[in-house]
Amino acid sequence: MLMRVWSVFYRPIFVSLFLLYAQHSSATLVANIKEFDKIVPTLKPGGEVVLANGDWNNVELVFKANGSAAKPITLRAEEPGKVFITGQSNLRLSGEHLVVSGLVFKDGYTPTSEVISFRTSKKDLANHSRVTNTVIDDFNNPERFNSDTWVAIYGKNNRFDRNSLLNKRNRGVTLAVKMNTEASRENEHIIEYNYFGPRQILGSNGGETLRIGTSHYSRKFSNTVVRKNFFDRVNGEHEIVSNKSCGNTYQDNVFFESQGTLTMRHGHYTLVENNYFLGNRKPNTGGIRIINENQTVKNNYLYGLTGHRFRGALVIMNGVPNGPINRYDPVVDSRMDGNIVIDSDYIQLCAGSDEERSATPIGSSMHDNIMMSKTNLNPFTVYDDISGISFQGNILNDEARVPINAGFSKVPYAITKNKHGLLVPSQSLTDKIAFGDIKLPVTREDTGASFYSKNHTEASFTGGNTIVVNAGTNTLLDALEQSQPGDTLVLKNGAKYLLTKNAFIRHPITIKAKKGKKAKILSEKASFFTIENGGALALDNLWIDGAESPDLAGNNVVSTSRYSMTHNYSLAVRNCKVTGLDVNHSFDFLKVYMGTFADSIEIVDTEMTNITGSVLALDKETEDLGIYNVENVLIKNSTFTDVKGTVANIYRGGTDESTFGPMVTVTGSEFVNIGHGKRNKSGASLAFHGVQRLNVSDSRWAKSAPLDLHLTNGEPITVISDILMKDTGKIRANSNKYQANDVIYK
């Protein structure tokens, strides 16, 4: 039964407010989806449907109505932030002059391919409508690579403002402007004051935070305005923003410690003005990438960006002459003027130049930019003919090298913190390029849903309790079951811990022994530890021994969940000894499954001996779709002896260029008798396929299979130095595009 809204609001203190309110609207409070469905068709201009506070589980809200400019129709929460849309749920709206506000989507995911959709069918679109003060948080399909879009804006003249979108973990664009029919083009949408909160590394294409258009309709105009949004640690992939249509404006946005760039991937006549990119020297943070025609990039401030190649601070690409619509159009008549770049590493001109991308920029300019950087004194990379770019009035610090002489002047490096806390060059210089006040155009606090926290941090290894665990059978298991995120379990020096059941790691946990004799862990199960979704594991000063492991093929010490994991995990092994993983064949140290992704895996100050499988088998995404299993791997000051498989087999297949990793460092380590097992298909001691950054240094091999390099897409950086290989095959590589300094074979 429907209940008039005043019955809820009727408290003496609200009487006068209510009377005012009642005169201007007819609001109906609904308590469930049946009531909602019944009331929606009756809504008249000025009407309101109010969702009662509480959980709305497994609801597909279809809000189809026609209001007017003077009297929109509203769907709102009884109280903002107290209506939770959970389970298999979504919201679709169509019609004219609609407003949605105050909802929170969490603890579930959409059964369709969109969470909030500005259409109810292919033909029924929303126009002149608004979604505001609404949250989508961690509303993810449990299958990491099942794709969905959180917000899809169709129609025309819509506004998406003051919403918080955070923790998207599965594949798919966070917010997309769709242009698949005429009725969704030249749309004049406004996207403003939104908080785009943390998005973890996806490890594949499809992790864009904002996309406008698609390649198919990219020569059409969208005319969307994106302004005053705060992008906070959005690290999904290398396109934070993927502009794929004409006539869009990006103004006054802040990109805070976000991996990737604002990319003008397709479409012309884009304006990128007065945006602030604060990389703060975090890895892979980038700026602005120009592709296509009549693009204007001016008056932007970029600080502390470390991204290289396509992820540089300022990038102007080469294009494909007369290429198909989904390839790179050449840069024509575009401006990169009046920007300030501080302590950033890479400015790339004619980036991507290759046999296919052979068209150099023409009719374009790079004028009046200030570039002050000591972090890389050779910031410019020129990949091709830059005669089609005019250079004028640019200012660099004395130490920096310049690609051409004309158009650049040098000044001493001088940076100070201004009253707004930003690092700036001298006023006289910024006056010279008429930059104006250097101040964030919007703060984190100015954006997002008013009621929702923007202080999100992921669970980590710190912040928990320290719990001493007594030696014995399953004492460690019991301690794990009772642990809280961030706890440290301290085992007794020299004591023995037996697991007779699989130990599940459900949150970040450290297991360690204090300095001194290692504590020993054995297991009677095929897997010692399984990292479940949300888990992360650090092992320190332990002796892990396979002596009690079952006589089965395919055992492991650590495994990921065998199901898809939406949360990235990490694994750290420090000061450990690993022995006797040899009861049967294919005993791995780490075994991962498809659909899992590690932000970081490290093995430091550790000794591993007698392993019939591999140490790190990170080669499960073999479909060559650009998906991979790990972002960062560190093997440092460690010794590996008698390993039948590989010490690391890292595979990133495909030619897609949307991601950063894997990034691998091997240093100060020793490999003895590695990789000779007949089941080691790679025939290598360490095999790196498609690794984007590889540093191998200061290490020794003896009686081992060779190091195998397969350099694929992008411009992988592979540097090998100070290594000695004794009775070991020579480095095998599919390409000689790597640097090998001081490799000695004996």
Residues that bind Ca ion (CB under 5 A): 205, 239, 658
User: Which residue, 559 or 658, is less far from Ca ion as judged by CB?
Assistant: 658
Reported in sequence order, the residue ranges of 237-369 that DSSP labels E, i.e. its strands, are: 239-244, 249-251, 254-256, 260-266, 271-273, 276-278, 285-290, 296-298, 301-303, 314-317, 335-337, 340-342, 347-351, 364-367
| Smallest separation, CB 332 to Ca ion (Å) | 23
| Smallest separation, CB 205 to Ca ion (Å) | 5
The count of other CB atoms within 10 Å of the CB of residue 18 is 15
User: Which residue, 333 or 715, is less far from Ca ion as judged by CB?
Assistant: 715
Beta bridge partner(s), residue 607: 577, 639
User: Which residue, 233 or 238, is less far from Ca ion as judged by CB?
Assistant: 238
| Smallest separation, CB 181 to Ca ion (Å) | 23
CB 476 within 8 A of CB 491: yes
Beta bridge partner(s), residue 499: 523
Q: Which residues of 428-464 are buried (b: 16+ CB within 10 A; e: fewer)?
A: ebbebbebeebebbbeeeebbbeebebebeebebeeb
| Smallest separation, CB 211 to Ca ion (Å) | 8
Q: Which long-range contacts link 511-515 to residues 24+ away (Cβ below 8 Å)? A: 511/476, 511/537, 511/538, 511/539, 511/540, 511/542, 512/488, 512/538, 512/539, 512/540, 512/541, 512/542, 513/540, 513/541, 513/542, 514/490, 514/541, 515/541
CB 708 within 8 A of CB 686: yes
**Do the bridges between strand 301-303 and strand 276-278 make them parallel or antiparallel, or are there none, so unpaired?**
parallel
| Smallest separation, CB 142 to Ca ion (Å) | 23
User: What is the Cα–Cα distance from 687 to 675, expressed in whole angstroms?
Assistant: 10
CB 350 within 8 A of CB 317: yes
Beta bridge partner(s), residue 263: 242, 289
User: Which residue, 375 or 712, is less far from Ca ion as judged by CB?
Assistant: 712
Query: Would you give the end-to-end CA distance of the chain in angstroms?
Result: 86
| Smallest separation, CB 82 to Ca ion (Å) | 36
| Smallest separation, CB 215 to Ca ion (Å) | 11
| Smallest separation, CB 658 to Ca ion (Å) | 4
User: Which residue, 110 or 658, is less far from Ca ion as judged by CB?
Assistant: 658
Beta bridge partner(s), residue 694: 664, 718
The closest alpha carbon to 539, from 509, 569, 559, 515, belongs to 509
User: Which residue, 60 or 624, is less far from Ca ion as judged by CB?
Assistant: 624
Residue whose entry in the numeric block shows the structure tokens 């608004």: 130
User: Which residue, 308 or 507, is less far from Ca ion as judged by CB?
Assistant: 308
**Do the bridges between strand 466-469 and strand 496-499 make them parallel or antiparallel, or are there none, so unpaired?**
unpaired
Residue type at 169 in one-letter notation = R
Across the chain, how many H-helices and E-strands are there?
5, 72
Phi, psi (rounded to 5 degrees) for 48: -135, 135
| Smallest separation, CB 654 to Ca ion (Å) | 13
User: Which residue, 239 or 619, is less far from Ca ion as judged by CB?
Assistant: 239
Beta bridge partner(s), residue 364: 389
| Smallest separation, CB 422 to Ca ion (Å) | 30
| Smallest separation, CB 148 to Ca ion (Å) | 16
User: Which residue, 333 or 656, is less far from Ca ion as judged by CB?
Assistant: 656
User: Which residue, 148 or 161, is less far from Ca ion as judged by CB?
Assistant: 148
The closest alpha carbon to 28, from 44, 14, 12, belongs to 44
Closest residue to Ca ion using C-beta atoms: 658
| Smallest separation, CB 212 to Ca ion (Å) | 13
| Smallest separation, CB 206 to Ca ion (Å) | 7
> What region, left, alpha or beta, does residue 299 occupy, with left being phi > 0 and alpha being psi -120 to 50 degrees?
left
User: What is the Cα–Cα distance from 331 to 438, expressed in whole angstroms?
Assistant: 29
User: Which residue, 174 or 658, is less far from Ca ion as judged by CB?
Assistant: 658
| Smallest separation, CB 173 to Ca ion (Å) | 9
| Smallest separation, CB 176 to Ca ion (Å) | 12
User: Which residue, 289 or 700, is less far from Ca ion as judged by CB?
Assistant: 289
Reported in sequence order, the residue ranges of 320-431 that DSSP labels E, i.e. its strands, are: 335-337, 340-342, 347-351, 364-367, 370-372, 380-382, 389-392, 394-397, 408-411, 416-417, 423-424
| Smallest separation, CB 733 to Ca ion (Å) | 28
Q: Which residues of 254-266 are buried (b: 16+ CB within 10 A; e: fewer)?
A: bbbbbbbbbbbbb
User: Which residue, 170 or 699, is less far from Ca ion as judged by CB?
Assistant: 170
Q: Reduce the DSSP state of residue 472 to 3 states and report it.
A: strand
User: Which residue, 194 or 205, is less far from Ca ion as judged by CB?
Assistant: 205
How much helix, strand and coil, in percent to the nearest 5, is found in the chain? 5, 45, 50
User: Which residue, 108 or 207, is less far from Ca ion as judged by CB?
Assistant: 207
User: Which residue, 657 or 670, is less far from Ca ion as judged by CB?
Assistant: 657
CB 219 within 8 A of CB 243: no
User: What is the Cα–Cα distance from 688 to 618, expressed in whole angstroms?
Assistant: 10
Reported in sequence order, the residue ranges of 330-407 that DSSP labels E, i.e. its strands, are: 335-337, 340-342, 347-351, 364-367, 370-372, 380-382, 389-392, 394-397
User: Which residue, 205 or 251, is less far from Ca ion as judged by CB?
Assistant: 205
| Smallest separation, CB 70 to Ca ion (Å) | 41
